[in-house]
Amino acid sequence: MKQRLAVWVAGLCGVTGLVWAGTIDTDFIQQPWPKQWVHVYEVGRYQVRWRQRASKKDGLFAGVRAEVASSRSAVWGPANDYADLGRMMPGVTAVKVVDEGPNRHVIHVDIKVLWKQLHLTFEVEQDPPNAIRFRLANEALGEFRGVTTLEELPQDGTASQPSPKTVVEVSTWLKAAHPVPMRLLLYVERRSLLRGMRDFLRSCEQQRPKAS
């Protein structure tokens, strides 16, 4: 299953998405945001950096960043795996790839929230091994975009860095079609992304070869 990170915030979306054609532009999401708020959290045994910016005019920006003690090539696989999405995301009843091409996928996600069944459509683009971009657009909801970037840190050959490390960062942007309480959106986004990063780091740790 492709793109675990793309659907962490699927709980924000309540209607069927409309898929756009063309490259997904995420450059503005990856830049430092004006007046962004940055904080370091402990999620499980892992330390992550969180940043956010909420603006009624520009939308909601949120992102989480962490280091993984693995090479970028080793991290790329877990970053594109959603085999355990149903266990990670409460309410997920079905995940289906409905269109698949070279480094491009269209994914349908069904989620049941209380008595309501939601049908979401995500467009995903892969730029191996550097980035994964995703988008959901809907006339009733607005537009949601995100990008997961992977950057392998150069090894210095010292005891302080005996093995490869990769910086993984998930950055998202949501522009709602109608007024929505920003505090509630921030709470849902922060909870989803932090939990998702925690589970992702656990998955990477479990896949690393055990020392003999």
Q: Measuring CA to CA, which residue among 87, 109, 76, 103 is closest to residue 207?
A: 76
- pLDDT score of 46: 95
- Residue spans of the domains in the chain: they are 18-80+124-207
The β-bridge relationship of strands 131-138 and 142-153 is: antiparallel
29, with CB counted inside 10 A (0-12, 13-18, 19+), is middle
How far is 89 from 9, CA to CA, in rounded Å?
A: 9
Question: Look-up: residue for tokens 């740790």?
Answer: 205
Report DSSP letters for 179-197, one per residue. Answer: ---HHHHHHHHHHHHHHHH
Q: Measuring CA to CA, which residue among 120, 100, 103, 111 is closest to residue 18?
A: 120
- pLDDT per position as a tens digit, 58-107: 999 999 999 999 999 999 988 877 554 444 455 567 777 788 888 888 88
**Which CATH entry fits the domain spanning 18-80+124-207: 3.40.50.720, 2.40.10.10, 3.30.530.20, 2.60.40.10?**
3.30.530.20
Judge contact between 36 and 53, C-beta under 8 A: yes
Per residue in 80-90, is it b (16+ CB within 10 Å) or e — as a string?
bbbeebeebbe
Task: Provide the terminal-to-terminal Cα distance of the chain, rounded to the nearest Å.
Answer: 31
More confident call, 12 vs 203: 203
pTM of this prediction?
0.80
Give the H/E segment covering residue 110.
strand 104-113
Judge contact between 174 and 59, C-beta under 8 A: yes
- pLDDT per position as a tens digit, 13-66: 333 344 445 588 999 999 899 999 999 999 999 999 999 999 888 999 999 999
Read off the amino acid at residue 143.
Answer: E
Count, in order, helices (H) and strands (E) of the chain: 4, 9
Judge contact between 50 and 38, C-beta under 8 A: yes
Judge contact between 161 and 168, C-beta under 8 A: no
